[in-house]
Amino acid sequence: MLICSNRQTANILIRLRANWIKNYSTVLIPLWMQFQIKTCLGAIGLIASAFQGYGQLRDSLSYEYLETGTLEEIVTTATRTEQSLKNVPMPVTVIKGADIQRMGALRLNEVLAEQTGIQVIQDHGAGVQVQGLSTDYVLILIDGEPVIGRTKGNIDLTRLVVGNIDRIEIVKGPSSSLFGSEAMGGVINIITKKGKETLSGSLRARYRRYNTLDLSAEAGKQHRKLGWYIFGNRMSSDGYFARGAASSITKTIAPFTGYTASGKISYRFSPSLELAVNARIFKEDQHNRKQVEVNATPHLIREQTNRMDLSLTPTLYWTLAPGKKFQIRNYITSFRTRSLYEYQGSNEVYDDSYFRQFFNRSEIQYDHQFNTRHTTTLGVGNILEGVDATRYENSNTFNQFYGFAQHQWQLLQQIQVTGGFRYDKHNQYADRFSPKLAAGWNISKTWSIQASVAGGYKAPTFEQLLLNFTNPTVGYTVVGTNVAARAIRKLEEEGQIQQILIDPSTIGAISAESSLAYNVGFKFQPGRRLLVQANLFRNNITDMIDFNTVAIKTNQGAIYSYFNRNKVFTQGVEANASLKLPYDLEISAGLQYLDAKDATVWNDVKAGKVYYRDDHNLDRKVAPADYGGLYNRSRFTGNIKIHYNNTRYDFDIALRSIFRSRFGTGLDVNGNGILDDDREYAAGYQLWNLSVRKFVRKLGFEAGVNNIFDVHTPYDPTTPGLNWYAGISYKFN
């Protein structure tokens, strides 16, 4: 990836003779080009080297090319401005599109599962944990705009295809100072491809076990003023039964057919004015069967589920003068699902439910670069969000205004300081102020360190405020805080309440969850072959929203609602190392150590206030060493990657492994409600994946095996066992 937007600018500078640069660069190089050169190369001292002589310039350039293979890598998510990755003073991971293609991945969950510090979990779809914080604390973006449609707080990553991804930028730790709610644990920004200077594209087909077929096509071109890119994907599968469930009626992963189409078009009216429009649509149909009991009689039910994403984003880029830029954007998106359950044979409706969510964000961002050392970013916006669902009372709308500010200060040539804040005003909860301060120090070409402290928040969801749902088969009820008193009073009038445990009138408005987080990291790169990185983190969360039983119904079903009550912390360290060996062989490894606990429970355990019932029916104190913390968190997770790239014969082989240590399942065998017994854990596991690719001119051939050793865990239905695949692709330009 190039450091600057104009490749020719950098190439011209490299070829210039030392004397010509020294004597004539100020006169002959236009001011705008000088600005680009300083922005692109100033951070690594190449401009200064150029004016001191050709030899120093040559040495600096050769070192940089030998070290990284490119000039610099530019990222945007961490600061919402283009910035060199090595100068970003916070933990950022970049996954390149080429690495994604090498994996043979079909959906985003498969890509993220192989990244250090990220754990893919199954909870109403494939979600992620970042630094031990669950999926509802992680903001998923596509080209900087949020993906909506959470189920139980989770964005199902299987909705997101990877064939059109240019790169993925992952910012770990709170990013609420720039992105607001849901970014308390981090941000995953999917940056999609755009057209190249020449007409180019590709066709790709892949086939996997379980009759899984993935087809995709893309094409694009960047003219002088007009640029465009289109992408289409179709994926279908027969689904499968998890091991041990083959005699079941319901498939663990339902058969489905999904379609994704996206496009980009941009037009440059003048050197200072450009309009870009991005659009995306996703549609998927699933079908399955299940058995239910109605009046103690078993019945077969046919299930049909449809879900669809739509989004449109026009953005105007306006440059007032060098270093003074506006971005004016409007993002509108909707997500809708429908689940229809019919009795098999009679086609009589058993249950019919729908969920519709819309989201509109209008925003203006202004970037002002005062000089090479100071850049300020200001922004204001408004969000209008609504939901209409069978499980909610009427249609409900949220309205939110926000403003943010950030300043980047190149304190010294090697020291970068970034500070900022965001203010949110919402019609359903109290105003929020989210600050952030980060600093990075490039001590030398070998060593660099970074540190940050930030506040984050997560707003109450529609579900926590407005849900009014009764399970038709089990009989329990869940009510949001805004409707709890009214809903419970209605059930009481109907004679359905046996016992009230919490006075419904005391169930008040819940606050947004808040956090304070710290990150300290370093990078060590003694040469072009070895890179070592590590990051220590701590997240303190207050006012965590949890549910509790408020009443018991006459059918013995519980009524639940939501409360602010818990304090939680997650802390640990993650480390990555990569080594380039001779003969085009590269080895990398990553490891995360995580300690995630409920702070209230932890303090009680240390104080000797928590007990359990042993096998002899005697009460025993829980020892601090026995408390395992939050459920579904592994103390150790990691990955290993071995990659061989043969440039002579144009093929590569990648062997990859991911592992996690044991984790709590939520099973409570001793009745004290916490994780403290070995029988309450699921065993850890390790998966190995192999992929091979070969290119013959414009044709590409790929094959691989995921989960080579046929490992199975009942707590992750996306690991059905050994899963082979093969594919072919064609590129044109």
- Of residues 492, 490, 441, the one with CA closest to residue 468: 490
pLDDT at 23 over 50: no
- What's the pLDDT at 190? 96
CB contact at 8 A, 663 and 630: no
- What's the pLDDT at 474? 67
Whole-Å CA distances, 448 to 87, 372, 438: 9, 21, 14
- What's the pLDDT at 633? 93
| C-alpha to C-alpha distance for 22 and 689, rounded to whole angstroms | 54
Each residue's pLDDT tens digit, 307-356 = 999 999 999 999 999 999 999 999 999 999 999 999 988 889 988 989 99
Tokens of 253: 């992963």
Phi-psi region of 428 (alpha: psi -120 to 50; beta: other; left: phi over 0): alpha
Q: Tokens 């952030």 belong to which residue?
A: 436
Which residues does 482 contact at the CB level (< 8 Å), separation at least 6? Answer: 465, 466, 509
- Residue 538 class from Cβ within 10 Å (0-12 exposed, 13-18 middle, 19+ buried)? middle
- What's the pLDDT at 476? 83
Each residue's pLDDT tens digit, 167-200 = 999 999 888 889 988 898 899 999 999 999 899 9
Tokens of 179: 């992105």
Q: Tokens 């970037």 belong to which residue?
A: 367
Cα dihedral 144, 130, 137, 104 in deg (nearest 10): 50
Q: Which of 10-19, 50-59, 67-76, 665-674 has the lowest mean pLDDT?
A: 50-59
Higher-scoring residue by pLDDT: 150, 61: 150
CB contact at 8 A, 120 and 126: yes
| C-alpha to C-alpha distance for 165 and 100, rounded to whole angstroms | 8
pLDDT at 473 over 80: no
Each residue's pLDDT tens digit, 719-733 = 778 999 999 999 998
What is the residue-averaged pLDDT of the chain? 85
pLDDT at 296 over 90: no
DSSP 32-101: HHHHHHHHHHGGGTHHHHHHH-HHHHHHHHHHHHHHHSSS--EE-TTTSS-EEGGG--S-EEEEEHHHHH
- What's the pLDDT at 246? 56
Q: Name the helix (H) or strand (E) containing 606.
A: helix 599-606
Q: Which of 40-49, 90-99, 218-227 has the lowest mean pLDDT?
A: 40-49
Each residue's pLDDT tens digit, 654-688 = 999 999 999 998 888 888 888 999 999 999 999 99
Model confidence band, residue 10 (pLDDT cutoffs 50, 70, 90): very low
| C-alpha to C-alpha distance for 518 and 540, rounded to whole angstroms | 9
